[in-house]
Amino acid sequence: ETGVTQTPRHLVMGMTNKKSLKCEQHLGHNAMYWYKQSAKKPLELMFVYSLEERVENNSVPSRFSPECPNSSHLFLHLHTLQPEDSALYLCASSQAPPGTYTYNEQFFGPGTRLTVL
Amino acid sequence: ELKVEQNPLFLSMQEGKNYTIYCNYSTTSDRLYWYRQDPGKSLESLFVLLSNGAVKQEGRLMASLDTKARLSTLHITAAVHDLSATYFCAVDTGNQFYFGTGTSLTVIP
Share of chain A above pLDDT 90, in %: 67
Report CB contact under 8 Å: B48, A40. no
**A40 against A3, higher pLDDT:** A3
How far does the CA of residue A6 sit from the closest CA of chain B (Å)? 10
Q: Which residues of A28-60 are buried (b: 16+ CB within 10 A; e: fewer)?
A: ebbbbbbbbbeeeebbebbbbbbebeeebeeeb
Q: How far is CA B106 from CA A43, A101, A105, B18, B45, in A?
A: 21, 35, 26, 13, 19
In chain B, residues with a C-beta closer than 8 Å to the C-beta of A109 are 42
How far does the CA of residue B108 sit from the closest CA of chain A (Å)? 23
Q: Which residue of B has its CA nearest to A46?
A: B96
Say yes or no to pLDDT of B66 above 90.
Answer: yes
Say yes or no to pLDDT of A1 above 80.
Answer: no
**What pLDDT does residue B30 have?**
84
A-B contacts (CB, under 8 Å): 53
Say yes or no to pLDDT of B45 above 80.
Answer: yes
In chain A, residues with a C-beta closer than 8 Å to the C-beta of B100 are 42
Res. B96 pLDDT band, cuts 50 70 90: confident
User: What average pLDDT does this structure show over B40-68?
Assistant: 93
Say yes or no to pLDDT of A85 above 90.
Answer: yes
**What pLDDT does residue B46 have?**
96
Using CB atoms within 10 A of its CB, is residue B10 exposed (0-12), middle (13-18) or buried (19+)?
exposed
Q: How far is CA B25 from CA A9, A36, A113, B2, B35, in A?
A: 32, 21, 29, 7, 16
Report CB contact under 8 Å: A103, B94. no
Share of chain B above pLDDT 70, in %: 100
B51 and A CB contact within 8 Å: no
In chain A, residues with a C-beta closer than 8 Å to the C-beta of B4 are 42
